[in-house]
Amino acid sequence: MYFSVVDTLESFVWKLVAAGTLIFSWILAITLFSKIYRLHKDGIDWAFSKEHSSGIIFGKKFGQMYISSLEAREGHICILGPSGSGKTSGLLIPTLRNWRGTSFSIDIAGDIEKNVHQAKKLIYQPENLNSTPYNVFYAIDIMEQDADKYEAIEKLAYLLMPELPPRESSASAKFYNQEGRKILTAALLAGYGQGKDFIEICKWVMTSSYQQLFHEIDQSGNELAIQYINSFSGALSENTSGCKQAADFAIKLFATNEYVMNSIRRPKRGEASFDPGKIEIYNVFFVVSDAKLDVYAPLVHLVVAQVLEYFSVRSDEMKQSILLCIDEAASFGKLELTAALRKLRKRRIRIITATQSLNDWIMIYGEAETKAMLGNYAYKVILGANDYETAEFWAKSIGHKKSTRRSFQEGDKGGKVIHTEIKEFAYEPEELGRLRNKLILLYPGGYMMLRKNYYFK
């Protein structure tokens, strides 16, 4: 009888434990599923192996859970971290390796291209004398109407001489830039109408005095070009000379650098070439030497601007997603990113920009435009922050958490413990400067800490 009762109790206890375990497992599963569902709604995807992950791969969580944002989703990505923090090796390369679409990447020193093994790869490398050439006039050449061509040429002149960044925009600088753009526009219109290629026009402008250039534009018979230079009639010679110098400065690289002059031209019959339309078919890598970023900045600016211009008129019906990666974005001066970040989201274009410090952007774009740009990034990846201003900005962006502070208060009848609820940064600015192998991901629904996903590990 005794043993029977014991067996019954033991059986009951085991059943109770089993039931409790089952209930706990169900609660845990429901909680986990609910959290994963919320993440999915907020634009976060996941995979349990590197091979099955794709899209923008941010990092790892729970060991081998790869956190990403799939290709078909919307939203641009801003990566911020000092040199050596893993912008290229921990994010750009892993993402491009598994990207199911096409891409265009600004590749510093070729580190990305040589570590991304994709089919249909096209490499534009100006310093390589055998590089695939870039055709500046491609989009203009395929237009049928002269009016469209003229409008596109005027836009090209603006890409070569855009509005000056805030730190350079004195009244005199604005004047010379604006009027110099008129001279460049006139030369491009006249030269294109005569069948000249882009480099040929740039050399023509650089090697001519403004008097000789104006005379030859007048002799071209291109009425629109002549209208542009007629505005200089009666102007002071020194002012016109200053405007011509501004135009010369804008195109100097294209008229004097042998590597650039060799790599920009209309292709020969049957020759492969690079133009923005090729990004629909190929994974394009624009390789720039690390030591010559400042030298090639005008070329990068022009190519990126033409790529963004192509994307801006891309059909909404295109199904394939395109990834635009700009490594060390602040190294190339003011790119036309603000409008692109606003407009390209609906055209299946996703932009990743990587830079070292928020202060770099503020110097180029100013505080107001930098703030506007950041507002158009759905995902922000913080790999570290070396300067306190940047660290404090991101600490404020991440937000605060509530915590309880305990203190002991003495009184006549003894002491008592007082609990005070306080708000403090979820991550203190100092913490963001020593993330090491971790990163902070800000996404539309909140933030999370991940481990960096280096491609070589």
Q: Are residues 214 and 289 in the same domain?
A: no
Rounded CA separation 150/231 (Å): 18
Mean predicted confidence (pLDDT) in 319-345: 90
Using alpha carbons, select from 264, 134, 288 the residue that is nearest to residue 202.
264
Q: Are residues 111 and 77 in the same domain?
A: yes
Q: Are residues 250 and 335 in the same domain?
A: no
Instruction: Give the CATH number for residue 225.
Output: 1.10.8
pLDDT at 419: 64
User: Would you say residue 206 has pLDDT above 80?
Assistant: yes
Instruction: Give the CATH number for residue 360.
Output: 3.40.50.300
Domain boundary residue among 237, 261, 285?
261
Residue pair 105/112 in contact (Cβ under 8 Å)? The answer is yes
18 lies in some domain? yes
Q: Are residues 316 and 443 in the same domain?
A: yes
417 lies in some domain? no
pLDDT at 346: 84
- The model carries a pTM of 0.87
Q: Are residues 255 and 301 in the same domain?
A: no
Q: Are residues 110 and 257 in the same domain?
A: no
Q: Are residues 116 and 27 in the same domain?
A: no
User: Would you say residue 134 has pLDDT above 60?
Assistant: yes
Report the share of the chain in percent with pLDDT over 70: 89
User: Would you say residue 251 has pLDDT above 80?
Assistant: yes
User: Would you say residue 70 has pLDDT above 70?
Assistant: yes
400 lies in some domain? no
Rounded CA separation 125/131 (Å): 6
Mean predicted confidence (pLDDT) in 254-279: 96
Q: Are residues 36 and 56 in the same domain?
A: no
Residue 43's pLDDT band, with cuts at 50, 70 and 90, is confident
303 lies in some domain? yes
Residue pair 302/124 in contact (Cβ under 8 Å)? The answer is no
Domain boundary residue among 24, 42, 60?
42
Q: Are residues 191 and 210 in the same domain?
A: yes
Using alpha carbons, select from 143, 162, 184, 402 the residue that is nearest to residue 277.
143
240 lies in some domain? yes
Count of C-beta atoms within a 10 Å radius of residue 221: 11
Q: Are residues 162 and 230 in the same domain?
A: yes
User: Would you say residue 428 has pLDDT above 80?
Assistant: yes
Rounded CA separation 220/226 (Å): 9
Q: Are strands 56-61 and 283-288 parallel, antiparallel or unpaired?
A: unpaired
Q: Are residues 150 and 253 in the same domain?
A: yes
Q: What is the 8-class DSSP label of residue 59?
A: E
Burial 36-64 (b: 16+ CB within 10 A, else e): eeebeeebbbbbeebeebbbbbbbbeeee
Count of structural domains, the chain: 3
Domain boundary residue among 261, 292, 327?
261
Q: Are residues 442 and 314 in the same domain?
A: yes
221 lies in some domain? yes
390 lies in some domain? no
- Per residue in 271-296, pLDDT tens? 999 999 999 999 999 999 989 998 99
Domain encompassing residue 221: 137-261
98 lies in some domain? yes
Residue 408's pLDDT band, with cuts at 50, 70 and 90, is low
